[in-house]
Amino acid sequence: MKILKFEGSNMREAVAKVKAELGDQAVIVSTRQVRRGLLGTACEISAAIDDDDDNEPARLPRGFGALAHAAPPPVGPQPARKDDDETERMVSSLRNEIKSLRAMVRAQSGDNRAATDLRNEVASLRKLVEDLKHAPAPSATPARGTAPIASSQLTAPSTGNCIMLVGPTGVGKTTTIAKLAARAALIENKRVALITLDNYRVGGIDQIRTFADLIGVPLQVVSTPGELAGAIDDDNDLTLIDTAGRSPRDGAAIDELARAVRTCSPIETHLVVAAGSTSTMIESYANRYRALNPARMLFTKVDEVDSAAEMARAPLRLELPITWITTGQSVPEDLEEPTAQRVLELAQTGLGSQQAA
């Protein structure tokens, strides 16, 4: 495995250099902004390519955004070969050590209150697994423009080409919009457009405009919800709508947005909550944003909690399956489309042990 760095004035230019040098089999490891000159900035991408002779794809850590679509290898001199056997042995040793540590922690139960709480959580999650197997089919009517979802589903893919993120202030809606846009535009080669209604928060427009410029996608700033329908272009493969970061108690603003949404083409609304939110908080958010008819849930900041039991409970309770979760600030790699098994795993143990790996 060989990792190289590429730099461009924006993310699109840097990705183009990655593809030109390493081909479409390359994998983006990380992205960051770097200083260029006195006042300028550039986008730096670290990309990896498997330099083995076989056709097996590179095995990289979960969550890294691969450049999709197979293509012929790049023309020109190839990078020098490296022996990865020693690295693989080190990784294998670390994995075995982590497994041993987990076993030690689980063995030290005794009268420890934390261990008791953990056992209770495990029992609760086991019950959820059983509920998943035996839950009846739903009788509720699905949201307009979305596919029917069984009440027993923890996860479900997105089915809309116009997606709006709603939720309380501070949960990371704008950063998540950037991750979704970068993945769709730069990796999946989709025609993407951004719309923001966030003209309330200081610096909100500047933040999403910076992301749009780096990714190379158009941004429209909508002053009032009534202008939303005119801003949506159905010719785009994906339109992402960022909403104002106001308090969920601002019922008048939510109702105004709901009236505007009803005049638009079908919009798939995702209720965004932080992974550390309690059941009481999530119930409150769901009630406040009910007028917007959310069809999915999106959990952010999974990396900031040791466990997130509500990730396994709230989707079933509210009949709002999860499409995406975010596991950090990096764009676009810290974004996952998890399976039900993955959600249950994170709900129980979080990302702590995996990050240590």
- DSSP codes, 313-329: HHHHHHT--EEEEE-SS
pLDDT the model gives residue 330:
83
Angle at 275 between CA 266 and CA 143, to 5 degrees: 20
CA separation for the pair 334, 29 (Å, rounded): 11
Kindly indicate the confidence band of residue 115, based on its pLDDT and cuts at 50, 70 and 90: low
Rg (C-alpha) for the chain, rounded Å, is: 22
The proportion of the chain whose per-residue pLDDT surpasses 90, expressed as a percent, equals 40
Angle at 64 between CA 46 and CA 94, to 5 degrees: 95
Kindly indicate the confidence band of residue 275, based on its pLDDT and cuts at 50, 70 and 90: very high
More confident residue, 39 or 275: 275
Q: Are 331 and 31 in contact (CB under 8 A)?
A: yes
Kindly indicate the confidence band of residue 173, based on its pLDDT and cuts at 50, 70 and 90: very high
pLDDT the model gives residue 249:
60
Give burial (CB, 10 Å; 0-12/13-18/19+) of 124: middle
CA distances from 155 to 29, 124, 224, 316, 322 (A): 26, 19, 33, 10, 4
Mean pLDDT of the chain: 76
Chain segment 229-264, per-residue pLDDT in tens? 999 999 999 999 999 765 556 788 899 999 999 999
pLDDT at 56 over 70: no
In whole angstroms, what separates CA 101 from the centre of its chain? 29
DSSP state of 145: T
More confident residue, 333 or 127: 333
In whole angstroms, what separates CA 208 from the centre of its chain? 16
pLDDT at 318 over 50: yes
pTM, full prediction? 0.60
CATH domain 125-356 topology: Rossmann fold (3.40.50)
> Considering only 56-65, 77-86, 94-103, which range has the smallest mean pLDDT?
56-65
Q: Are 179 and 332 in contact (CB under 8 A)?
A: yes
> Considering only 76-80, 161-165, 190-194, 235-239, which range has the smallest mean pLDDT?
76-80
CA separation for the pair 268, 311 (Å, rounded): 20
pLDDT at 227 over 70: yes
Q: Which of 176, 100, 155, 116 is nearest to 331 (CA)?
A: 176
User: What are the beta bridge partners of residue 41?
Assistant: 35
The proportion of the chain whose per-residue pLDDT surpasses 70, expressed as a percent, equals 64
CA separation for the pair 97, 101 (Å, rounded): 6
Residue 113: partners with Cβ closer than 8 Å, 6 or more residues away: none
Sorted by where each begins, the domain ranges of the chain are: 1-73, 125-356
